[in-house]
Amino acid sequence: MPDAIVARSESAWKADIISRRKLTYTTPLDPNLGCPRHVRSASGIVTCGDGWLVVQDDANFLAKVSATTVAPVPLPLRNGFRLFDKATGGKKNKWDLEAITSIDGAFYAFGSGSTPNREVVLRVTGDLANPEVQIRDAADWYGTLSTWLAGAELNIEGVNPWGGQLWVAQRGNGAPTAVDALWSFAVADFLSWFEGGKPPEISSATTVDLGKVDGVRLTMTDLTSSANERFFVAAAEDSPDAVQDGPVVGAAIGILDAENSRWTRIYEEGKPSLDKFEGIAQDSDDPALFWLVTDADDPDVAADLCSVRFTRT
């Protein structure tokens, strides 16, 4: 593997949670769809109109979030299931949708690739009240990533278009051999592949080393970007592998730059946050404000939408 991007902690930077909101659905729920009362295990967020679209890793629903409302957007059943946990018995069937992004007005949700069932990309288009969802078996594309990792566990957690490239973040939590990585693909090649073409070739690839928080490796959980910068959110989760969860000892937000990647821990009311933030989106009006979503790893706990003030001096 090539030399890593190595990121360092930047003591002059600050990241503070300034608001927190439980993502409980505010619209009437169709009982035939089996939608829970709240967003759970939020795993990615992307700007959508004047709000956001949130993806969940253990429920086949997107959530359309505005300043005052939260509405479910149902995705297709997977082997008869829309909820994937021990209670439903459907966990082995889940797509494990861990990332969401927007390209040319369409939304793309990505499975983690951590098992063969999870090698899938969904495209969501049209009116979100009744969207069209296309499902792409992505074993060939995920196979390209697995080959590059040379035996390390695959666990895709962030995808973001920037500079004509689609940037893909690998989260290397868990096993000692796991690594964080960052790949890029030409957006045009990715779109051609989704329509049935050959898998896009990797444009660039590198491992990413974020260091540790309290002795636990810090690993990327999502990506976003502005016109000139790439941002990431990360968690220090003491988990045994890419599938099982573990305690979180810290969270961070930072900049991904080949020459000068840096990060700072996220705080709330003066104390380090122990949330597992799995999604990040920059505010459309305030470049220092970011919107993050949490995954509590508990289907009975609603995900939070948090606003974070990221100050760099």
pLDDT at position 168? 98
pLDDT tens digits, 128-163: 999 999 999 999 999 999 999 998 999 999 999 999
d(CA 281, CA 43): 12
100 close to 157: Cβ distance less than 8 angstroms:
no
Q: What are 159-218's pLDDT values in tens digits?
A: 999 999 999 999 998 777 889 999 999 999 999 999 999 999 999 999 999 999 999 999
Model confidence pLDDT, tens digit, residues 287-311:
999 999 999 999 999 999 999 999 9
CA distance 208 to 84: 31
Domain residue ranges in the chain: 5-311
CATH number, span 5-311: 2.120.10
For residues 59 and 81, is the Cβ–Cβ distance under 8 A?
no
Pick the closest to residue 179 from 158, 150, 152, 156 (CA basis): 152
pTM of structure? 0.96
List, as one string, the DSSP characters of 15-73: EEEEEEEE-B--S---GGGT--SB--SEEEEEEETTEEEEEESSBSEEEEE-SS-EEEE
Q: Which of 193, 155, 147 is nearest to 173 (CA)?
A: 155
| β-sheet bridge partners, residue 313 | none
- How far is the C-alpha of 220 from the C-alpha of 212, rounded, in Å? 12
| 177, amino acid identity | T
Instruction: Reduce the DSSP state of residue 79 to 3 states and report it.
Output: coil
The overall average pLDDT reported for the chain is 94
179 CB-side CA count, 13 A: 22
Q: Which one-letter amino acid corresponds to residue 40?
A: R
